[in-house]
A and B are shown apart, each in its own frame.
Chain A
Amino acid sequence: MAELIPTQPDPGHEDDHHHGEQSFVSKYLLSTDHKVIAMQYMFTGMAMALIGGFMAYAFRMQLAFPGMDVPFFGIVTPANYVALVTNHGAIMIFWVAMPVLIAAFGNYLIPLMVGCDDMVFPKINRLSYQVFLVSAIVLLSSFFVEGGGFGGAWTTYPPLSAKAEYNLTPLGSSLFIGAVGIEFIAFLLGGINFITTAMNSRAPGMKLYDIPMVIWMIVIASILFMVSVGPLLAGAIMLIFDQQLHTAFYDPNRGGDPVLWQHLFWFFGHPEVYVVLLPAVGITAEIITVFSRKKLFAYRTVLNTAIGTGVLSFCVWAHHQFISGIDPRMANVFTLTTLLISIPIAEMMFVYIATLYGGAIRLTTPMLWALAFIFEFLIGGVTGIFLGASGADIYMHDTYFVLAHFHYTFFPIAIIGTYAGVTYWFPKMFGKMMSDRLGKLHFWGTIIPFNFIFIPLFFLGAGGQHRRIYDFQNFPALAGEGMQDLRILATVSLVVMLGFQVVFFYNFIISLMRGEKAGKNPWKANTLEWTAESPPPHGNWKVLPTVYRGPYEYSVPGREKDYWPQDEPN
């Protein structure tokens, strides 16, 4: 039976929050307000992004200038090098992409875009962030224990990751796996909240097809995460047992099977790509409709393809294992499913291009980021087709080609998607406009060097350069003039790109202090969050909104205004 809940905020729930006179600690550190928790996730994610970016800087300097005393870091030893690349990968995926794209935007946007006052389980929500913070501290502490940080790649394949005599990091490797496990508990708690809130707390009148696309994408991503994470948790428990209790789950000498880990890991690992991709795709949908003043082309197609992508993403995992000795017949099956999954994603790209077609495009900073997302992700997607085909992958496996492909998917997701979202919702989050001029400077200063980092790596990979080599001088065939030049080009571009991030932080702070007041709806957008004050107060609205139509009614013929907010009766 449907339970009927009054549209006004529940008074019992409000009691939890104690309006007004709050101390700093209870307002910002122990708050159960979804917006504060979103900011906690976002700023923690940004801090981790700086750490992950610094790691990339240190090991890329070593690759370009082997043996150099790297400024701000020192000499990169082989142990440092492997620990840096391993933790760079883990941090950027688990402590940057996930907390920012799913947890921060999910927390901020879901209640505001479905029109309710808070998450349905505010205390579980607070717990989720606290568990996440613990996981980040555990991960960073692994660098300071005996033996140093784990260096067996973010995929933690046993036996290298399982045996201390191989990886030489007896504590670091367990802290690494432990941190990932703790973090998953945080996102489990968050995911339960996101899905339940989006399904149960929608504004009166908001039907399933009236939910903004970004909310759908976060919900689907959360479901994918929750379905895929169980096997990895099982695998992680077994791996920690092997590391610390010396059981033999992955030890072939004692009846175990190291490839078992690869299956458990990639059964999670591949859906994980879509877990972070879908929110970025959703953010892009919001931005391109607003700044082309057009209805989203084929709303239901986008939703259905996202669900189709999600289902297919559980059937592709072994394409990471083509050289692990799997049965060639199985490799054929996984090649087929992998190539199939490019169809729904291509469909989404076409839908977005169709949305842009004929629109009144305004090239604001968020729009530039959204367009760059489509463009750069396309390169990532197309190069993936080479790697999905087992014949080509056997040559490309573990080369820089894989690395470049991977970064052409994850950088658009984690960095471009985040910047698109932050620049678009900044006026709502902080009540001020960001400087468009500085925003564009930062945009070009990030996008151009980004391509100069990773396009050379495609060439290096196709030339046979293996991805886990510390010093190429030991491999004369790979350290020739042309190849070393490409490596130096990539490193210099990285330094330039990192340098341009200063512009973003400067813009962020200067806009917070001196930005122009944003008002409720600076972009003239339809979705519900733009009907709240900027920044929204505790509880979001005095009277919760009612929804009358879908989120993308732009440029409707016969109307005076070119937008039609979801909560306007006519």
Chain B
Amino acid sequence: MSMVAGSQGPDGLEPIDRTVRKQVVPHGVLGMLLFVLTEIMLFAGMISAFTIAKASAPIWPPPGQPRLPVEATALNSVVLLASGVALILAHRAFHKGNRSAMLRPMWVALALGSIFVVVQGYEWVRLLGEGLTLFSSTYGAFFYLIVGVHAVHAFGAIGLLAMATTRLQNGYLTPGFFGATEIFWFFVVGVWPIVYGVVYL
């Protein structure tokens, strides 16, 4: 058999360092990537269901249903995207090892994320007042389902970022935890334009 024993690899060419255990990416980052994979498919499921409902309806949106606030939400989307930019700045500072410089962009990202959630909540209250509810039509039902699931994720992302900020202030933010937080935040920011494009436009 072609296997060569000792410190050679199975192909007999490349020597392997057998004293260390290789961790290609931090555990937290890999775990979060896998989790986000599931989340992407969750949104893909809802959005494709919505698209089918929309395509098979004779008139869309159904008559008598209020229009969604397209412009106000566009503005709010910019707020959410800006929070992503702030986190990129924090990312750069973190990988330069400059922990004091990353605190401010992290607070900015947290603030922008919170503004997004509050404005969305305000829009919900207004729409409910205008007669768009879970039961008024499948239009309303899909709207509250998809935007609601996104809001739940936004709350989760804010909680995670708040934890990361606390850890940063206490001086024990690890690359794994920060990387996982970033991935989740970027997921919440990145999926929103798709949700906006499909549901609002």
The reply to whether the CB of A28 lies closer than 8 angstroms to some CB of chain B is no
Name the B residues within 8 Å of A500 (CB-CB): none
Contacting pair B134 A245 (CB below 8 A): yes
Q: How far is the CB of A299 from chain B (nearest CB, A)?
A: 11
Given A196-B27, A556-B1, are A2 and B22 also a contact pair (CB < 8 Å)? Answer: yes
Contacting pair A550 B53 (CB below 8 A): no
Contacting pair A255 B21 (CB below 8 A): no
Given A204-B17, A256-B138, A570-B5, are A196 and B42 also a contact pair (CB < 8 Å)? Answer: no
Q: How far is the CB of B95 from chain A (nearest CB, A)?
A: 10
Q: Which chain A residues in 243-257 approach chain B with CB under 8 Å? A: 245-249, 254-257
Q: How far is the CB of A539 from chain B (nearest CB, A)?
A: 15
Contacting pair B27 A546 (CB below 8 A): no
The reply to whether the CB of B30 lies closer than 8 angstroms to some CB of chain A is yes
Contact of A199 among B5, B9, B30 (CB under 8 A): B30
Interface-side segment among A38-46, A223-231, A463-471 = A223-231
Contacting pair B37 A226 (CB below 8 A): yes
Interface-side segment among B44-52, B118-126, B182-190 = B44-52
Contact of B41 among A230, A237, A248 (CB under 8 A): A230
Contacting pair B34 A196 (CB below 8 A): yes
Name the B residues within 8 Å of A248 (CB-CB): 135, 137-138, 141
Q: How far is the CB of A223 from chain B (nearest CB, A)?
A: 8
The reply to whether the CB of B62 lies closer than 8 angstroms to some CB of chain A is yes
The reply to whether the CB of B69 lies closer than 8 angstroms to some CB of chain A is no
Contacting pair A553 B3 (CB below 8 A): yes
Cα distance A96–B19 when bound, in Å?
Answer: 40
The reply to whether the CB of A473 lies closer than 8 angstroms to some CB of chain B is no
Name the A residues within 8 Å of B25 (CB-CB): 200
The reply to whether the CB of B66 lies closer than 8 angstroms to some CB of chain A is no
Given A241-B141, A248-B138, are A205 and B16 also a contact pair (CB < 8 Å)? Answer: yes
The reply to whether the CB of A195 lies closer than 8 angstroms to some CB of chain B is yes
Contacting pair A234 B42 (CB below 8 A): yes
Contacting pair B145 A238 (CB below 8 A): yes
Q: Specify the chain A residue showing the minimal Cβ separation from B142.
A: A249
The reply to whether the CB of A233 lies closer than 8 angstroms to some CB of chain B is yes
Contacting pair A204 B20 (CB below 8 A): yes
Contact of A5 among B21, B34, B52 (CB under 8 A): B21
The reply to whether the CB of A210 lies closer than 8 angstroms to some CB of chain B is yes
Given A255-B138, A556-B3, are A209 and B30 also a contact pair (CB < 8 Å)? Answer: no
Q: How far is the CB of A131 from chain B (nearest CB, A)?
A: 15
Contact of A205 among B18, B23, B57 (CB under 8 A): B18
Q: How far is the CB of A274 from chain B (nearest CB, A)?
A: 16
Contacting pair A260 B52 (CB below 8 A): yes
Q: Which chain B residues in 51-106 approach chain A with CB under 8 Å? A: 52-53, 56-57, 62
The reply to whether the CB of B198 lies closer than 8 angstroms to some CB of chain A is no
Contacting pair A234 B138 (CB below 8 A): no
The reply to whether the CB of B111 lies closer than 8 angstroms to some CB of chain A is no
Contact of B19 among A7, A223, A260 (CB under 8 A): A7
Q: Specify the chain A residue showing the minimal Cβ separation from B140.
A: A247
The reply to whether the CB of B196 lies closer than 8 angstroms to some CB of chain A is no
Contacting pair A546 B18 (CB below 8 A): yes
Q: How far is the CB of B116 from chain A (nearest CB, A)?
A: 22
Q: How far is the CB of B55 from chain A (nearest CB, A)?
A: 11
Q: How far is the CB of A474 from chain B (nearest CB, A)?
A: 38
Contacting pair B23 A2 (CB below 8 A): yes
Given A2-B24, A205-B18, A230-B39, are A255 and B137 also a contact pair (CB < 8 Å)? Answer: yes
Cα distance A7–B6 when bound, in Å?
Answer: 18
Q: Which chain B residues in 113-169 approach chain A with CB under 8 Å? A: 134-135, 137-139, 141-142, 145, 149
Known: A229-B38, A247-B135, A553-B1. 8 other contacts (CB 8 A): A192-B34, A204-B21, A207-B16, A234-B42, A241-B145, A249-B138, A295-B1, A546-B18
